[in-house]
Amino acid sequence: MSTCKPLARICIRNRQPSFLPLPQRRHESTTRRHKKLLNLPAAPSYTPDRSQPTLIFNPPSSAPSVYHTPLKFLPKDDRRRQLYAAFQTAATQTAHRTASPAVAAPGTPLSAPSFLPPRPSAGLPPPVRIPYDKKYHLTDADIVEIQRLRREDPERWTRVRLAEKFGCSQFFVGLVAKNEGKAERVESEHERSRARWGVRRRTAREDRGRRRELWGRDA
């Protein structure tokens, strides 16, 4: 069964090691089990609860339109604030009331997170980078120390090492202790290695820069 392979591959295992006994998990080795696995319940909009013909609105998933202003961006006196708040409470109540189907109960293969739409929960998705707060903890003496180290031995005390030592960002080190000679040397070194590039690498880099500009332009 070649069709089994991709599904088996996307089955995500628990990343965190746990000391609980592993539950027995069966693989989808037969066509029948496979079909049952793929037999997901239809979208709620396709199964109307009334007999009268209703409008089926089931658009493909896409990024929200930028013309829909988020609740936080609305001014204080905008009428949409109450509408959004009312919708939010109603949607949460409905989501919590809807029971999960038996086939997706915990312990079955369908309970794996890749098969199910995300359940409504209070938890937010994980951050892309670890959030940090600015500490503003360096004193004038620290800054003088940073400048002295950077001036005396720029090869040893790079921006990265200074940032690690003093617990600040590299940007801040560059801000308070700029070393022009070192920057020029590094830049000329980079320029020399860039001069050795061939046509393909150079065009690939230029194209990457051009694509990077399109990120902020929605293209």
Partner 1 sequence: MKRIRISRCAQQLLAQPSPRRPLCPCATVLQRNITPHNHRIQARFQTTAAIQNNEDLEIEIEEPSASEAIESTSRSSAPQRRRRMRLENLPSPHPSAASHSAKLSALRARLSLHQRFPLQTLARTLVHPSADPDPAFNNASLSILGANLLGYYTTEYLMCNYPRLPMSVIFAAQYAYVGPKALATVASEWGIEAAAEPGGEVDPGLLQFKRIKSGDDVPPALRRQAPWKWNVTTTHKIVATDEFGSNNAPPGPHSLSATAVPMEEAAQSFVRALIGALHLHLGSPLVKRFFRDHFLSRHLDISTLFDFRTPTRDLSRLCAREGFEAPVARLISETGRLSRHPVFVVGVYSGKDKLGEGAGSSLNEARVRAAAAALKAWYLYRPIEVTVPSSMEGELDTSKWKPNMVDCGEVIV
Kind and range of the H or E element at 212?
helix 199-215
**Residue from 59, 106, 125, 209 in contact with partner 1 (CB under 8 A):** 125
Per DSSP, 120 falls in state: P
Taking CB under 8 A as the rule, does residue 68 contact partner 1?
Answer: yes
Taking CB under 8 A as the rule, does residue 136 contact partner 1?
Answer: no
Kind and range of the H or E element at 84?
helix 80-97
**Residue from 59, 131, 198, 209 in contact with partner 1 (CB under 8 A):** 131
Taking CB under 8 A as the rule, does residue 215 contact partner 1?
Answer: yes
Report how far residue 213's alpha carbon sits from residue 123's, in angstroms, rounded to the nearest whole number. Answer: 33
Piece in contact with partner 1 (CB under 8 A), picked from 13-21, 36-44, 180-188, 209-217: 209-217
**Residue from 32, 129, 137, 156 in contact with partner 1 (CB under 8 A):** 129
Query: In 3D, which of 111, 115, 94 has the Cα closest to residue 49?
Result: 94
Are 206 and 179 in contact, with CB atoms under 8 Å apart?
no
Report how far residue 177's alpha carbon sits from residue 147's, in angstroms, rounded to the nearest whole number. Answer: 5
- What is the closest distance, in whole angstroms, from the C-beta atom of residue 72 to partner 1 in the complex? 4
Instruction: Pick between residue 31 and residue 88 the one whose CB is nearest to partner 1.
Output: 88
Taking CB under 8 A as the rule, does residue 80 contact partner 1?
Answer: yes
Report how far residue 113's alpha carbon sits from residue 101's, in angstroms, rounded to the nearest whole number. Answer: 15
Task: Give the residues lining the site for partner 1 (CB under 8 A).
Answer: 63-64, 66-75, 78-80, 118, 124-129, 131, 215-218
